[in-house]
């Protein structure tokens, strides 16, 4: 009974996040997990349950989500991505497939995840909110200083208690996580890109980090303040939670895989 590991990409705009949701007395919400399970079940000709590496929020995108399922049926690996994608809506694609060991867990065996947050900024020269890119970037009217944002981002690197960067009543036993790397660059005309990787992330953690770095970039406080925000372990100390638009899960890694 083979266990399949899929690499999945999706535009999260019209999804209520990754995880299946079925509110009482209503139709199930449209989720990535839900449409994938339907498509895979058709291809495998049996009911399928999939597990994803990251439960992305509504509106968040992915280029490298990992999902796994077990099936009684064996299909040549090279045929699986196209077979499943042909059953999927236009905003989801399966990019690759491989066989893993029968007990493989995409969550517990994950060694790292990488996210990218893209922010367009400023009104100068008549530039306003992005139109065609509006679902893939977030926007602020403030002028941003990417160099100061990058300087501030270095205070997020390392193993810390990130209680300042998750919602209250988060439900996790521990808020300690390790951030491997966090960089901020000018990625285009009036656009900054935040890349962050780590061994795991709390609910809204990347979006709150983004909001905190945005506050530094617009001059609300100096980069050194971020060190104190981390040490405070208090959600009220950090910046706002940025919208889901602009956030993308870029990759997930496992033992013996390159990041």
Are residues 129 and 169 located together in one domain of the fold? yes
Does residue 90 lie within any of the structural domains? yes
Rounded CA-CA distance 27/192 in Å is 39
Are residues 117 and 90 located together in one domain of the fold? no
126 Cβ contact partners less than 8 Å away, ≥ 6 residues apart: none
Are residues 123 and 163 located together in one domain of the fold? yes
Tell which of 74, 100, 126 closes a domain. Answer: 100
Q: How many domains does the chain have?
A: 2
Catalytic residue status for 57 = yes
Are residues 30 and 77 located together in one domain of the fold? yes
The whole domain housing 131 covers: 112-254
Cβ atoms of 212 and 232 within 8 Å: the answer is no
Are residues 180 and 239 located together in one domain of the fold? yes
Does residue 259 lie within any of the structural domains? no
The 3-state secondary structure of the chain reads CCEEEEEEEECHHHCCCCCCCCCCCCCCCCCHHHHHHHHHHHHHCCCCCCEECCCCCCCCEEEEEEEEEECCCCCCHHHHHHHHHCCCCCCEEEEEEEEECCCCCCCCCEEEEEEEEEEEECCHHHCCCCCCCCCCCEEECCCCCHHHHHHHHHHHCEEEECHHHCCCCCCCCCCEEEEEEEEEEEEECCEEEEEEEECCCCCCHHHHHHHHHHHHHCCCCCCCHHHHHHHHCCHHHCCCCCCCCCEEEEEEEECCCCC
Q: Quick one: tokens of 232?
A: 């405070």
Indicate which residue of 57, 90, 91, 161 is catalytic: 57
Are residues 70 and 92 located together in one domain of the fold? yes
What was the pLDDT predicted at 198? Answer: 98
| Average pLDDT per block of 10 residues along the chain, 259 residues long | 96 97 90 98 96 96 98 93 98 97 95 97 75 93 96 98 86 88 94 97 96 98 98 96 97 78
What was the pLDDT predicted at 255? Answer: 86
What was the pLDDT predicted at 170? Answer: 59
Are residues 120 and 43 located together in one domain of the fold? no
What was the pLDDT predicted at 87? Answer: 98
Q: Quick one: tokens of 226?
A: 């971020």
Rounded CA-CA distance 89/15 in Å is 11
Nearest CA among 233, 155, 243 for reference residue 204: 243
188 Cβ contact partners less than 8 Å away, ≥ 6 residues apart: none
What was the pLDDT predicted at 205? Answer: 96
pTM here is: 0.94
């Amino acid at each position: 009974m083979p266990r399949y590991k899929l690499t999945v990409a999706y535009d999260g705009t019209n999804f209520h996040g990754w995880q299946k949701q079925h509110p009482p007395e209503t139709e199930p919400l449209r989720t990535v997990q839900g449409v994938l399970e339907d498509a895979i079940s058709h291809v495998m000709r049996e009911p399928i349950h999939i597990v994803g590496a990251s439960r992305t929020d509504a509106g968040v995108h992915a280029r490298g989500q990992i999902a796994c399922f077990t099936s009684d049926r064996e299909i040549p690996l090279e045929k699986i991505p196209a077979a499943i994608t042909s059953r999927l809506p236009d905003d989801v694609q399966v990019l690759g497939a491989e066989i893993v060991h029968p007990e493989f867990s995409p969550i517990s065996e994950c060694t790292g995840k990488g996210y990218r947050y893209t922010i367009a900024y400023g009104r100068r020269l008549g530039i306003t909110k992005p139109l065609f890119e509006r679902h893939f970037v977030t926007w602020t009217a403030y002028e941003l200083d990417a160099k100061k944002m990058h300087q501030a981002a270095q205070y997020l690197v390392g193993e810390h208690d990130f209680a300042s960067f998750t919602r209250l009543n988060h439900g996790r036993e521990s808020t300690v996580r390790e951030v491997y790397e966090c960089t901020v660059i000018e990625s285009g005309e009036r656009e900054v890109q935040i890349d962050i990787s780590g061994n795991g992330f709390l609910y809204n953690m990347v979006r709150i980090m983004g909001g905190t770095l945005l506050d530094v970039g617009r001059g609300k406080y100096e980069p050194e303040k971020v060190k104190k925000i981390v040490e405070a372990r208090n959600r009220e100390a950090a910046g706002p939670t940025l919208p889901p638009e602009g956030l993308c899960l870029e990759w997930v890694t496992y033992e013996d895989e390159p990041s």
